[in-house]
Structure 1
Amino acid sequence: MSDGEDVVRRERFSGGPAREFLSSLAADERIFEADVAVDRAHVVMLAEQGIVDDETASEILTALSVVEVNGHEALPDGEDVHAAIETAVVEEVGPDGGRMHTARSRNDEVATCIRYRLREDLLDAIEATLALREALVARAEEHAETLAPGYTHLQPAQPTTVGHFLLSYERALARDTARLLDAYERTNRSPLGAAAFAGTPFDVDRERVADLLGFDGVLANATDAVSARDFLFESVAALAGLATTVSGLAEDLVVYSNRGFVELDDDYASTSSIMPQKKNPDTLELARAVAGDAHAGLSGLLTTLKGLPRAYNRDLQRATPHAWDAVDAATDAADVAGGAVATATWNESELAAAAGEGFTTATGVADLLASHGVPFRTAHEMVATAAESGADYDALDAAAESVLGDPLDAYVDRAAVEAALDPAESVASRDSAGGPAPEAMADQLAAAADALDADREAVEAAHESLAAARETLQSEVNEYA
């Protein structure tokens, strides 16, 4: 290699590309406010423990207020937001500004900032999920007796109701809510005070910092505290589950829209650029696609975390964005689905007409025969034989002669069979727990409302706890700055 070529090579690879590749400053805008709060709580604790004198703490806390007001965009260049904020404080205070980093590492600092921000995002996702559930319960109550076709394998199966269908998704979303609340609980633990991975010789009060930041406690082992990102994949897994539930709901509504069973409000649909008669369920198609984004994020996150040695590794810088992307996408999808459900119009006449198409009451007839002494498998065969020629009493009677050797009225009277053939009567007969009959639906609606109230209270309690911690931290900061 010539001297000239060597100079070109050195210029190409000196400084810039590596620094840009390493830097997360732009992406860290999301945790800017979290970092300021974490810095404040840490400095207050350092002052209370006598590790930093009150005057220095006052200068640092005042500088942090300036940094907060100026915002992320005013930060000096840095490898990440944590280093940039510290540089800005030192520029304001002088060398004593560097005392804010006493007894901590960026390892425990960044882990704390991520948890601080993610817990707020999880609560937002839960709020969106609760709003979707509320919309489903409200419309389910309104349409508790609105007949609808039920499908398996997208084939006509049994009559049901719109309310029963909608509540099926509310119940799935209730479990999504529970998983998100669980993820929130394990996210809301403080790593701060773990330092690089082996703790610190300074007499820090980790519990005090956790309280100031609204965490429910600390992660006991210092190495685990800085290494652990299981809270990320637990959160993203819960979000992927939520996105999957929303995707299924969106798909069903897209199919029902195609069949003319439901019409989306104009705010949740669009027209074709060329075909004026079209009304497309675009928002639901996008909500359906979000599951793919969330699943990809979970796969990317787990792949990044797989096989990492213990303590901090720079790979983790690439892990966190998967969580941000997943929580934003899943929250937006739940919001859109909730709005679509709340404003949709159900075509009751089309639904009622379709409820009996394809001999959907066949199972009810077989059940009726089984309740009158015919073995269910024999009844199943008889009704299947009837279905080949029709879905009425005459076809059933002929099938009874063929399969059972006797006319149908030898087993059950005609009026009972006619009732079993009626979709509305078929639904009314399914009054076992969890069924679509009015009495069973009333119980399900009441249970869903109670579960919603309990989950709403849990979220409100979490919000109140975090708000109280913010007020306490600000009050403590005011004592110094």
Structure 2
Amino acid sequence: MLRIILFSLSLAAATGLSTMPTSSRDLNASSRGGGRSVEFFDQINKASIIMLDEGGLVPHPMAARIADGIEQVIAKENASGAARSADYLDFEPKLIAAVGQDASRLHMGRSRQDIGATIARMSLRDGLLREYQALVASREKLLTIADQNKQTIIPAYTHGVQAQPTTFAHYLLAWEAAVVRNCERLQQAYQRINTSPLGAAALGTSSFPIDRKRLAGLLGFDGLVENSYDANHVASADSSLEVASALQISAIQLGQFAQDLHAQYAAPSPWLMLSEGKLTGVSSIMPQKRNPAALEQLRTQSSIMVGEMQTVFLLSHNNRTGMFDSRSYDPVPSERPSQVFELFQQVLDGLVVDKDRALAEVNADYSATSGIADALLRTADVPFRIGHHYASTLTNYGRSQGLKLNEIPYAEAARIYKAETKQDFPLDEAEFRETISAEHMVSVSKGIGGPQLAEVTRMLADGHTKMKSDLDWLKSRKDRLVAAEASLNTSVAALAAGASTNGSANR
């Protein structure tokens, strides 16, 4: 998969130009990204004939013949191996050839527009559940690595400059929290997406008493997009935008993560890097280089994903309701997010953190000096700004002398404090040495969500609990859809089996 992502991207694959439809009919007949539109179209036809039969809108013997005809057409087309169309106008002549003119009753109270809107929603929920599963798998990897690094001291950065020490677990749990929010966004989107527009017809329903609730249940939907105008013309746009927005946010976060890691490669001895092998490459001219190819691709593919999700917005922008610009059967490209999330997991699997090197990086700079101001206030009631100014002056002194923070003599630290404040330095040497220790600064953190061991341990436990809950949610949604499809297929097979001998002769 990684090799495919690294080397097999073409302009057509990146832009979708090679499969872009040329008319509104082509748009409804195609599925960008190789989705399951034809499978969903088959389910819709099966649900329609079951509902029509149960509601008495089609006489039972005729419904049986139509159900049998649906099964015949599907089997014949699947056996041929040829690409199938999800356009009803392509399907109906084949059904009529199998059943007779009565086959057109299948389309009672329907339009290609509500069929298309329903396929789009089925595509959205199908892609969403796959993407959700990939994100939860990423969370599991983040939690596992964090659990192994609860006390691994690393430098943290603001403005691209080393700022304070923290732990690798604390850092990774920040990204796990970000992925949790994206999972929550997708869960919330699913609640609105998994509602059925079928039976709305073009926009105003029809004169037939179509049981829209029954259609929704047969297809595994949790409810209806109730207003029939909304179902096809308004909700069809904002449901896609909601998913695209969540995926776009996720792509931006993954790009940030890739950049964090990539920045480490500027150092002669990075404290964080990728394991050598499939995630890295060797320069063709400089044998010493180990290029972090997977990070570059994670950033690149995330950026392309941001663009693709923005395209979903642009296709709906300044558009009248009822237009087809944004109404494909696969309205949010689902192939790239799955690839990007898989690549993210591979990067997590390949992370190598050098604990000693990370601590040396912290100790090489002055990021622990902010603990001095805290210690002076906490132990000697020195006003924070006075302590802050002293720590800044101490930093300037140490850097001017080419010293690391822990190399500054205690006598010099005390002298500088006396010169700054006209007071004796209130910390003895042991207290001063402890205060400027990165490990100490992390351990004495008190706030909720901080890097101290107790809070990291708590957040890890919470993360595992939430992940289990989210896996249960995912399983319940997938199980419901599988059960609905199995029940639908059983019902159609039973109805088709009742086709009469006379009805079969009419074929």
Q: TM-score, normalised by structure 1?
A: 0.89
Equivalent residue, structure 2, for 1:457? 472
Are the aligned partners of 1:300 and 1:322 in contact in 2 as well (CA < 8 Å)?
Answer: no
User: Displacement of 1:219 after TM fit?
Assistant: 1.0
Alpha carbons of structure 1 residues 354 and 75: separation in structure 2 relative to 1, 3 Å: closer
Alpha carbons of structure 1 residues 382 and 322: separation in structure 2 relative to 1, 3 Å: farther
User: Displacement of 1:126 after TM fit?
Assistant: 0.6
Are the aligned partners of 1:33 and 1:68 in contact in 2 as well (CA < 8 Å)?
Answer: no
Q: How does 1:118-197 map to 2 (within 5 A)?
A: 118-197=124-203
User: Displacement of 1:397 after TM fit?
Assistant: 2.0
Q: Specify the code of the residue in structure 1 equivalent to 2:471.
A: R
Matched, 1:473 2:488: yes
Are the aligned partners of 2:220 and 2:481 in contact in 1 as well (CA < 8 Å)?
Answer: yes
Equivalent residue, structure 2, for 1:368? 375
Are the aligned partners of 1:431 and 1:438 in contact in 2 as well (CA < 8 Å)?
Answer: no
| Structure with more helix by fraction | 1
Equivalent residue, structure 2, for 1:270? 281
- Distance (Å, rounded) in 2 between the aligned partners of 1:349 and 1:282: 25
- Distance (Å, rounded) in 2 between the aligned partners of 1:94 and 1:186: 39
Alpha carbons of structure 1 residues 98 and 276: separation in structure 2 relative to 1, 3 Å: farther
Are the aligned partners of 2:120 and 2:331 in contact in 1 as well (CA < 8 Å)?
Answer: no
Equivalent residue, structure 1, for 2:306? 295
Alpha carbons of structure 1 residues 244 and 52: separation in structure 2 relative to 1, 3 Å: same
Are the aligned partners of 1:236 and 1:294 in contact in 2 as well (CA < 8 Å)?
Answer: no
Which deviates the most, 416-425 or 298-307?
A: 298-307
Q: Specify the code of the residue in structure 2 equivalent to 1:323.
A: V
- Distance (Å, rounded) in 1 between the aligned partners of 2:94 and 2:282: 51
User: Displacement of 1:321 after TM fit?
Assistant: 5.2
Equivalent residue, structure 1, for 2:262? 254
Structure 1 residues 223-272: Cα deviation after superposition (integer angstroms, max 9, x where no partner): 00111221100000001111112111121122234442223232322222
Matched, 1:232 2:240: yes
- Distance (Å, rounded) in 2 between the aligned partners of 1:183 and 1:395: 60
User: Displacement of 1:462 after TM fit?
Assistant: 0.7
Whose RCO is larger (CA < 8 A, sep 6+)? 2
Equivalent residue, structure 1, for 2:454? 439
Matched, 1:398 2:415: yes
Equivalent residue, structure 2, for 1:16? none
- Distance (Å, rounded) in 1 between the aligned partners of 2:272 and 2:97: 62
Are the aligned partners of 1:189 and 1:219 in contact in 2 as well (CA < 8 Å)?
Answer: yes
Q: 1:74 aligns with which of 60, 82, 101?
A: 82
Equivalent residue, structure 2, for 1:42? 48
Alpha carbons of structure 1 residues 98 and 274: separation in structure 2 relative to 1, 3 Å: farther
- Distance (Å, rounded) in 2 between the aligned partners of 1:55 and 1:283: 60
Equivalent residue, structure 2, for 1:285? 296
Task: Name the SS of the counterpart of 2:166 in structure 1.
Answer: strand
Task: Name the SS of the counterpart of 2:278 in structure 1.
Answer: helix
Task: Name the SS of the counterpart of 2:281 in structure 1.
Answer: coil
Equivalent residue, structure 2, for 1:217? 223
User: Displacement of 1:398 after TM fit?
Assistant: 2.9
- Distance (Å, rounded) in 1 between the aligned partners of 2:73 and 2:307: 36
Structure 1 residues 427-459: Cα deviation after superposition (integer angstroms, max 9, x where no partner): 111242211111111111111111111111111
Structure 1 residues 130-183: Cα deviation after superposition (integer angstroms, max 9, x where no partner): 011110000000011111111111111111111111111001111011001111
- Distance (Å, rounded) in 2 between the aligned partners of 1:104 and 1:153: 57
Alpha carbons of structure 1 residues 396 and 62: separation in structure 2 relative to 1, 3 Å: farther
- Distance (Å, rounded) in 2 between the aligned partners of 1:268 and 1:417: 44
Equivalent residue, structure 2, for 1:377? 385
Matched, 1:335 2:346: no
Task: Name the SS of the counterpart of 2:157 in structure 1.
Answer: strand
RMSD (Å), alpha carbons = 2.1
Are the aligned partners of 2:244 and 2:310 in contact in 1 as well (CA < 8 Å)?
Answer: no
User: Displacement of 1:423 after TM fit?
Assistant: 1.2
Q: Specify the code of the residue in structure 2 equivalent to 1:363.
A: S
- Distance (Å, rounded) in 1 between the aligned partners of 2:439 and 2:307: 43
Are the aligned partners of 2:195 and 2:221 in contact in 1 as well (CA < 8 Å)?
Answer: yes
Are the aligned partners of 1:365 and 1:421 in contact in 2 as well (CA < 8 Å)?
Answer: yes
- Distance (Å, rounded) in 2 between the aligned partners of 1:180 and 1:196: 28
User: Displacement of 1:20 after TM fit?
Assistant: 4.4
Which deviates the most, 354-363 or 124-133?
A: 354-363
Task: Name the SS of the counterpart of 2:165 in structure 1.
Answer: strand
- Distance (Å, rounded) in 2 between the aligned partners of 1:109 and 1:91: 22
Equivalent residue, structure 1, for 2:362? 355
Q: TM-score, normalised by structure 2?
A: 0.85
User: Displacement of 1:413 after TM fit?
Assistant: 2.4
Q: Specify the code of the residue in structure 1 equivalent to 2:290.
A: K
User: Displacement of 1:296 after TM fit?
Assistant: 2.3
User: Displacement of 1:117 after TM fit?
Assistant: 1.7
Which deviates the most, 378-387 or 57-66?
A: 57-66
User: Displacement of 1:356 after TM fit?
Assistant: 2.0
User: Displacement of 1:282 after TM fit?
Assistant: 1.7
Which deviates the most, 109-118 or 81-90?
A: 81-90
Are the aligned partners of 1:156 and 1:357 in contact in 2 as well (CA < 8 Å)?
Answer: no
Task: Name the SS of the counterpart of 1:455 in structure 2.
Answer: helix
Which deviates the most, 170-179 or 54-63?
A: 54-63
Equivalent residue, structure 1, for 2:206? 200
User: Displacement of 1:283 after TM fit?
Assistant: 2.1
- Distance (Å, rounded) in 2 between the aligned partners of 1:315 and 1:406: 74
- Distance (Å, rounded) in 2 between the aligned partners of 1:67 and 1:269: 50
Q: Specify the code of the residue in structure 2 equivalent to 1:345.
A: V
Q: Specify the code of the residue in structure 1 equivalent to 2:118.
A: T
Alpha carbons of structure 1 residues 223 and 26: separation in structure 2 relative to 1, 3 Å: closer
Which deviates the most, 89-98 or 412-421?
A: 89-98
Q: Specify the code of the residue in structure 1 equivalent to 2:358.
A: L
Which deviates the most, 239-248 or 207-216?
A: 239-248
Q: 1:27 aligns with which of 24, 31, 36?
A: 31
- Distance (Å, rounded) in 1 between the aligned partners of 2:194 and 2:255: 28
- Distance (Å, rounded) in 1 between the aligned partners of 2:123 and 2:331: 14
- Distance (Å, rounded) in 2 between the aligned partners of 1:309 and 1:245: 33
User: Displacement of 1:36 after TM fit?
Assistant: 0.8
Task: Name the SS of the counterpart of 1:159 in structure 2.
Answer: strand
* Number of positions where the alignment pairs a residue of Structure 1 with one of Structure 2: 455
Are the aligned partners of 1:141 and 1:445 in contact in 2 as well (CA < 8 Å)?
Answer: yes
Structure 1: runs of 5 or more not aligned: 1-18
- Distance (Å, rounded) in 2 between the aligned partners of 1:63 and 1:273: 61
Task: Name the SS of the counterpart of 1:158 in structure 2.
Answer: strand
